[in-house]
Amino acid sequence: MAQEIIRFLNRLFPPEVVILIVSALPISELRGSIPLALGVFHFPIAKAYFLSIIGNLIPVIPLLIFLESLSKWLSKRFNWAERFFTWLFTRTSKKSKLVEEYGAIGLAIFVAIPLPMTGAWTGCVAAFLFGIRRVWAALSIASGVLIAGIIVTLASLGIIKLF
């Protein structure tokens, strides 16, 4: 299914835009875009890294600004939205003990760990849940994304093994 989506996107957009889109999506983020850029599109390392970083950071500021009001607005109007946000916020608060304990520094570490549910999107939710100021949250998430990008790039090149 993922290959079909990538082929579809590649028919619509140049490879650089596909990488930006894939890295901006909440499930794949740069954990999906860097291997795609290096392995499928054969981008140079720096190009793969920087496009993935930029794409992964695109949703951060809007999420930090609008997540609270959007979740409240949707939850008031739709039962499915209330269930989704309750699930998301509960799951994130259980998974983000680092953020709860260490604040902005914990948030950077949380985002830097390249595992499922630890990227920029979840970092924005964690920042909201634990009341981290937007400026510090944005800086922490950006730092975490930069570190995660290095780790994923090194793993994609076979220099390090994650598992």
Tell me whether residue 159 is in a domain: no
Is the distance from CB of 154 to CB of 160 less than 8 angstroms? yes
Is the distance from CB of 120 to CB of 61 less than 8 angstroms? no
Q: Are residues 147 and 70 in the same domain?
A: yes
- Average pLDDT over the chain, rounded to an integer: 94
Structural domain boundaries, residue 74: 60-153
Q: What is the per-residue pLDDT for 51?
A: 98
Q: Are residues 29 and 78 in the same domain?
A: no
Q: Are residues 91 and 69 in the same domain?
A: yes
Q: pLDDT tens-digit profile of 37-70?
A: 999 999 999 999 999 999 999 999 999 999 999 9
**161 band by pLDDT with thresholds 50, 70 and 90:** confident
Q: What is the per-residue pLDDT for 7?
A: 81
**117 band by pLDDT with thresholds 50, 70 and 90:** confident
Q: pLDDT tens-digit profile of 61-99?
A: 999 999 999 999 999 999 999 999 999 999 998 888 889
Q: Are residues 135 and 81 in the same domain?
A: yes
Look at the chain and report how many structural domains it folds into.
2
**9 band by pLDDT with thresholds 50, 70 and 90:** confident
Q: Are residues 82 and 129 in the same domain?
A: yes
Q: Are residues 35 and 67 in the same domain?
A: no
Q: pLDDT tens-digit profile of 130-149?
A: 999 999 999 999 999 999 99
Judged on CB neighbours under 10 Å (0-12, 13-18, 19+), 119 is buried
Place of tokens 């259980």: 94
Tell me the DSSP string of the chain. -HHHHHHHHHHHS-HHHHHHHHHHSTTTHHHHHHHHHHHTS---HHHHHHHHHHHHHTTHHHHHHHHHHHHHHHHHH-HHHHHHHHHHHHHHHHH-HHHHHHHHHHHHHHHHS-STT-SHHHHHHHHHHTT--HHHHHHHHHHHHHHHHHHHHHHHTTSS---
